[in-house]
Amino acid sequence: MIKLVNVTKEFNLDEQVITPVRDVNLEVSKGEFVIIIGRSGTGKSTMLNLVAGLIRPTTGSVLVEGRDLAQLSDKEMSRLRSREMGYVFQFPSLLPALTIRDNIAMPSTFSADENRKGSPKRAEDLLEMLGLGERMDCYPRHLSAGEQKRAVIARSLMNEPRILLADEPTSDLDERTEKEIMALLKQIHDSGVTILMVTHSLGLVPYATRAYSMGKGKLELTHQK
C-alpha cells in the first residue's frame, strides 16, 4: 500500500545540505497501524510529507497503491491524495472563519468524486461519531485543544480515505485527551483504514501493529505484534 525504497531527502539551507531522511526503506501493508517515534528534528514529518506527495525525494522512490509518486503530475497527485489519503496535521489547521461543520466538509468540495461533493450529511455524521455533534455550528476558537484535534481527524476522514497519515496527533494534549485521541485512531484503524503516524511519545507504541524509532534520518524496527 505504501512503499519507500532507498529514499533520501536533502534540503539546501544557508549553503548547507540538510538530510532529514537518509536511505529509508519502509513498507506498510493494507490494514496496518505503523508508528514512527522520534524526537523533533529526526525527519519524521519530512518522511510523512514524502508519503503524502507534498515533497519529492532527492533519491529513491515513494510508491502509494503501486504508483510511483515522482511519475505523477501535480493534478494526478492531487487526485490520489483526495481519493486515497487523509492527513492529520500537527499544528492547528482549521479555518477560523468557518464553522466546524464547514471545515469538516471542505475536502469534499475539492473531491474529484462527484458523489462526494458538498456532502454536509457526511460531515455531520463524522462529527456525531467523534463526539462533536453539539459543536458543529461553533467556530474553531470555541473548541478545546482536544476538540480541535478531533475535528481535524474528522476532516481527514471526509473523503473516506483508505490511508490516514497522522503527524503528532496527540502533541500538546493532556494525558486523558491523548488517550481519547488514540482510542479514536484505534477505532478508525479497526474500521479498515491503514494508518501511518509519527510521534515523539514512546507511550503510544502499544497501539501500533509495528513501530520504528527514527534518528538522524534512519529507521529502526522496535516493535511488532
**Domain with 128 in it: what CATH number?**
3.40.50.300
How far is residue 180 CA from its own chain's centroid?
17
What does the block give as the cell for 37? Answer: 517515534
Residue 130 has pLDDT above 90, yes or no: no
- Give the pLDDT confidence score for residue 91 in this predicted structure: 78
Q: What is the mean pLDDT of the chain?
A: 91
Q: Which domain holds residue 47?
A: 2-224
Q: At what angle do helices 120-129 and 145-156 cross, to 10 degrees?
A: 130
Written as one letter, the residue type at 220 is: E
pTM, whole model, 2 decimals? 0.91
- In which order are the strands placed within the sheet that holds 85-88? 85-88, 163-167, 194-199, 33-37, 210-215, 218-224
Total number of domains constituting the chain = 1
**Kind and range of the H or E run holding 185:** helix 175-190
Q: What is the pLDDT of residue 93?
A: 83
Residues 6+ apart with CB under 8 A from 78: none
Average pLDDT over residues 138-150: 93
